[in-house]
Copies of this chain bind each other. A is one copy, B any other.
Amino acid sequence: MNSFPNELLAGYRAFMDGTYKQQRNRIRELADKGQTPSTMIIACCDSRAAPEMIFDAHPGELFVVRNVANLVPEYAPDGRHHSTSAAIEFAVNGLGVSNIVVMGHGRCGGIKAALSGGEVKLDEGDFIGKWMSQLAPVAEKVASAGVMTDGERQTALERVGVRQSVNHLKTFPYVNDLVEKGELSLHGAWFDISTAELWIMDHETGDFVRPEND
């Protein structure tokens, strides 16, 4: 049978009895006035790393793109479909967000694949290998750090990937303009899906550090 998953219907009813009842006015107002999120988050599809959960966000607060391994491609307008680039353009030029956060996370299956491990092989399949190949140059460097464990290399590439994506954001001319004018801030973050530690990218050094009054 082909019926809509029961657990989703049950969850929907829980939402209606809980969050919707409590926030009904706010939700209706948001629908009428339109969304004005101040933050765009570019996150991974992983079922353990939902940005709304991590930041306890309410409806209307976060404009969220999710793709495998939270990658931002370089600005490359070529007349083709670019899902993530389109969303960035929509958020920056259409909604006028003030912050873009690229958020990586631990034990990322896409990153693991880029280091040639895990559930997915990059050279099988039609798309995942190509998608992750955006990280290939840095993945190769990280993979060759022979004295590090598999886990350390994985964490390293997860963070290197966030840094690369933040840098790619600056290749979008309108993003860069707004950053230089001080009207838009770019951020990197990394979330440990086990301990739930949040690490923030330092803008000067690129290092990931725990937020201060955490």
Q: Is the CB of B56 within 8 A of A11?
A: yes
Copies in the complex: 4
Cross-chain contact A45 with B91 (CB below 8 angstroms): yes
Q: By the criterion CB–CB under 8 Å, are A52 and B54 in contact?
A: no
- Which chain B positions have C-beta within 8 A of A28? 194-195, 212
Q: Are A86 and B35 in contact (CB under 8 A)?
A: no
- Determine whether the beta carbon of B196 is less than 8 Å from that of A20: yes
Pairwise interchain contact A107-B31, C-beta atoms closer than 8 A: yes
Chain B residue at smallest Cβ distance from A131: B86
Complexed CA–CA distance, A187 and B8 (Å): 12
Contact A160 B148 (CB under 8 A): yes
Expressed in whole angstroms, the Cα–Cα distance for A149 and B138 within the complex equals 13
- Is A185 part of the binding interface, using a Cβ–Cβ cutoff of 8 Å? yes
* Structural contact, B107 and A119, CB atoms closer than 8 A: no
CB of A92, distance to nearest CB on chain B (Å): 9
Q: A45-B90, A148-B156 are in contact. List 19 more A-B contacts (CB 8 A).
A: A9-B214, A12-B54, A12-B198, A14-B56, A15-B53, A16-B196, A19-B56, A34-B109, A37-B47, A45-B63, A50-B50, A59-B193, A86-B130, A89-B126, A90-B110, A144-B145, A150-B205, A152-B156, A195-B210
Could you list some 14 contacts between A and B, CB below 8 A?
A: A5-B38, A11-B54, A12-B214, A28-B195, A31-B193, A45-B87, A59-B193, A71-B83, A80-B80, A94-B113, A138-B147, A141-B146, A148-B160, A156-B156
